[in-house]
């Protein structure tokens, strides 16, 4: 049986190893010029203490996780700076009401990772719903970006995570979808 819980400091070393091992898993097609950036132990510790990491566990073994962070965590990176600039310009409507996204009412969602043998079992949806519940007292919107060539992730987020595409942009010769999930 899969259990879900927020990460704690005892999980840091396992999460760092998973990040190191699977850092490029989301890159769709292999391209040696593209490299992900694995989180360090210090960054994972900061995420646990000041942001959110939700885990899926099978017999105490992490088989999936998702990260959500306030914008200041990633704000020094150029890609996130571009997304932060786009927030007030995004055209989002819910039940006929225009919604305004800001750095204070939204957070960065992702990455999400699920061990290959556990995929297709509903863990993805549970992780997304649990992280949405965890952040709901602080923010109203989860904001994610997905590379255009990552069809599996795009399909999962639009079909099972209740995320809507709100923009499409290019960054460093790569194209991305920008998605938002409204949290009520």
Question: What CATH code is carried by the domain that includes residue 129?
Answer: 3.40.630.30
Give the residue-averaged pLDDT of 20-25.
68
Evaluate the CA torsion angle 129, 136, 81, 87 in order and state its sign.
positive
- pLDDT at residue 8 greater than cutoff 90: yes
Give the residue-averaged pLDDT of 21-28.
58
In terms of residue numbers, what domain contains 93?
A: 3-182
Contact of 44 with 16, CB cutoff 8 Å = yes
**Model confidence, pTM:** 0.89
What total of structural domains would you count in the chain?
1
Higher pLDDT, 105 or 20: 105
* Mean pLDDT of all residues belonging to the chain: 91
Give the residue-averaged pLDDT of 103-114.
95
**Per-residue pLDDT tens digits for 43-76:** 999 999 999 999 999 999 999 999 999 999 999 9
The Cα–Cα gap between 149 and 25 comes to 12
- Coil, helix or strand for 102? coil
Contact of 65 with 56, CB cutoff 8 Å = yes
**Structure tokens, 146:** 């997905």
Evaluate the CA torsion angle 121, 123, 129, 133 in order and state its sign.
positive
Per-residue pLDDT band for 38 (boundaries 50, 70, 90) equals confident
Which pLDDT score is estimated for 97?
87
The Cα–Cα gap between 184 and 169 comes to 27
**How large a percentage of the chain has pLDDT more than 70?**
92
């Amino acid at each position: 049986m899969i259990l879900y819980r927020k990460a704690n400091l005892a999980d840091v070393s396992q999460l760092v190893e998973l990040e190191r091992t699977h850092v490029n898993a989301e890159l769709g097609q292999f391209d040696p010029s593209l490299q992900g950036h694995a989180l360090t132990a210090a960054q994972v510790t900061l995420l646990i203490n000041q942001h959110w990491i939700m885990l899926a566990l099978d017999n105490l073994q992490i088989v999936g996780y998702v990260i959500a962070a306030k914008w200041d965590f990633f704000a020094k990176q150029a890609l996130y700076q571009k997304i932060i600039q786009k927030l007030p310009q995004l055209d989002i409507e819910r039940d006929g009401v225009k919604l305004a996204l800001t750095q204070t009412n939204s957070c960065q969602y992702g990455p999400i990772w699920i061990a290959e043998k556990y995929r297709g079992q509903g863990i993805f949806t549970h992780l997304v719903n649990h992280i949405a519940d965890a952040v709901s007292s602080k923010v109203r919107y989860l904001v994610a970006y997905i590379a255009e060539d990552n069809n599996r992730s795009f399909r999962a987020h639009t079909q099972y995570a209740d995320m809507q595409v709100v923009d499409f942009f290019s960054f460093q010769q790569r194209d991305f979808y920008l998605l938002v999930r409204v949290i009520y």
